[in-house]
Amino acid sequence: MILMSYARRVIEICGGVRALSRALNRPSSTVMSWARRGSIPDEAKVSILALSRREGFGLRPEDFLPPLDDGAGEDPARQSAA
């Protein structure tokens, strides 16, 4: 299973590369580099969280963490209960 990076997921939630770059007043190439790299610089995360609160995107700090891949593709809580 291929997981989408947290950076791509956050960028998509915020409307995509162009929308997020306009909202943050940054070049599209900067936001695209975050998507390609799969990570967002810490200083930008604060701005994106503030944008999310203003626009109602529903992002939380934990959305900026890499996804957990336990190898089985299942929720770890469900695995421990099995």
Q: Does a structural domain hold residue 53?
A: yes
Domain count, the chain: 1
Asked if the model's pLDDT at residue 67 lies above 80, the reply is no
Predicted TM-score (pTM) of the model is 0.77
Q: Is residue 47 part of a domain?
A: yes
Q: What is the pLDDT of residues 8-50, one digit of tens each?
A: 999 999 999 999 999 999 999 999 999 999 999 999 999 999 9
**Token pair of 55 as six digits:** 């626009």
The whole-number pLDDT of residue 71 equals 52
Examine residue 72 and state whether it is found in any structural domain, yes or no.
Answer: no
Of the pLDDT bands very low, low, confident and very high (cuts 50, 70, 90), residue 82 is very low
What is the domain extent for residue 30?
6-64
